[in-house]
């Protein structure tokens, strides 16, 4: 058995609504559903619920294991929005999705008020891109509702010298905080936060050394899809970053990623399946 496979199998499973993510069996696909008018990736659907619902159905049909619904852009230069505005964007969609798709729904937010309403509407996972640094009530909410929590290493507003020790330290602190508040060990998922205050060199190093995050003992979610790192290397706009995304997904899985967050679900599900066949010895 490969060392990486043994480490994956030790992660056990995470229950997300009616679904179990059995880590190590294969790579799981998180499909991105952006309900913003200003998404960096060019796929923002704004307030068009019918278009968003159609896209959600397509992502599930293409192989998404979970949908990540977000109402606020995470671009470095984007303006923050109020909780009320975010709620207007995401709650009607989550209410529709929870009754019409057969995969779990994750809420991409760092605001506890938005997360609570999303859970009430049918979401079953919280994805916090600020890694528990913005709203301390968010981790309490995850513990109260007993739902999986994604802790993202966000280096915005942080000065660091070496990226891997910094990311590991950030995530370790987040894990300990979550455990102290009462989040179950099996409900914690970590994300190194590609982008989010890192340099191009730092992002590339994270993917190259992703396996070092396995020391934290939790499943790794990797989100590289269409990101500026790819644009900077290939000098391409977001809509032309498919091949670059595929390279990062394949190498990320080889390095230990357990779930990948992607816009192009059909293509990345194929990449993941092929990579799993090589790395994990599984393709069915």
Residues 6 or more apart in contact with residue 135 via CB below 8 angstroms: 110, 111, 112
Residue 88 annotated to the active site: no
Known catalytic membership, residue 227:
yes
Q: How far is CA 193 from CA 94, 116, 117, in A?
A: 24, 23, 25
Residue 265 contacts residue 64 (beta carbons within 8 Å): yes
4 Cβ contact partners less than 8 Å away, ≥ 6 residues apart: 211, 214, 256, 279
**What does the block give as tokens for 55?**
């896209």
Phi/psi of residue 221, each to 5°?
A: -100, 130
CB 270 within 8 A of CB 37: no
CA dist., res. 151 & res. 140, Å (int): 13
- Lookup result for tokens 């499943």: 219
Q: What angle do CA 9, 15, 17 make, to 5 degrees?
A: 155
Cα-Cα-Cα-Cα torsion 176, 223, 206, 129, nearest 10 degrees, comes to -40
Among the options 89, 241, 261, 280, which is catalytic? 261
Distance CA 13, CA 187 (A): 9
Residue of 111, 226, 227, 280 with catalytic role: 227
Distance of CA 183 to the CA centre of its chain: 18
Q: What is the CA radius of gyration of the chain?
A: 17
Which residues are identified as catalytic?
A: 227, 261
């Amino acid at each position: 058995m490969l060392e990486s496979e043994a480490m994956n199998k030790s992660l056990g499973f995470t229950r997300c609504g009616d679904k179990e993510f059995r880590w190590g069996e294969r790579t799981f696909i998180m499909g991105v559903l952006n309900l913003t008018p200003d998404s960096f990736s060019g796929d923002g659907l704004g307030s068009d619920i019918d278009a968003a619902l159609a896209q959600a159905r397509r992502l599930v049909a293409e192989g998404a294991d979970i949908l990540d619904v977000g109402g606020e852009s995470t671009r470095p230069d984007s303006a923050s929005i109020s909780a009320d505005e975010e709620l207007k964007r995401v709650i009607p969609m989550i209410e529709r999705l929870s009754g019409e798709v057969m995969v779990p729904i994750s809420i991409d937010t760092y605001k506890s008020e938005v997360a609570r309403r999303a859970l009430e509407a049918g979401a079953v996972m919280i994805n916090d891109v600020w890694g528990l640094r913005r709203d301390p009530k968010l981790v309490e909410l995850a513990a109260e509702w007993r739902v999986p929590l994604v802790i993202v290493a966000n280096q915005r507003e942080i000065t660091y010298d070496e990226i891997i020790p910094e990311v590991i330290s950030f995530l370790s602190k987040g894990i300990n905080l979550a455990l102290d508040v009462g989040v179950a060990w099996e409900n914690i998922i970590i994300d190194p936060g590609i982008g989010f205050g890192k340099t191009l060199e730092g992002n590339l190093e994270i993917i190259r050394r992703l396996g070092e995050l396995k020391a934290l003992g939790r499943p790794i979610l990797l989100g590289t899809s269409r990101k500026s790192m790819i644009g900077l290397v290939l000098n391409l706009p977001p809509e032309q970053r498919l091949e670059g995304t595929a390279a990062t997904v394949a190498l990320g899985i080889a390095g230990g990623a357990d779930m990948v967050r992607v816009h192009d679900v059909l293509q990345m599900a194929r990449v993941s399946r092929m990579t799993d066949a090589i790395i994990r010895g599984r393709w069915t």
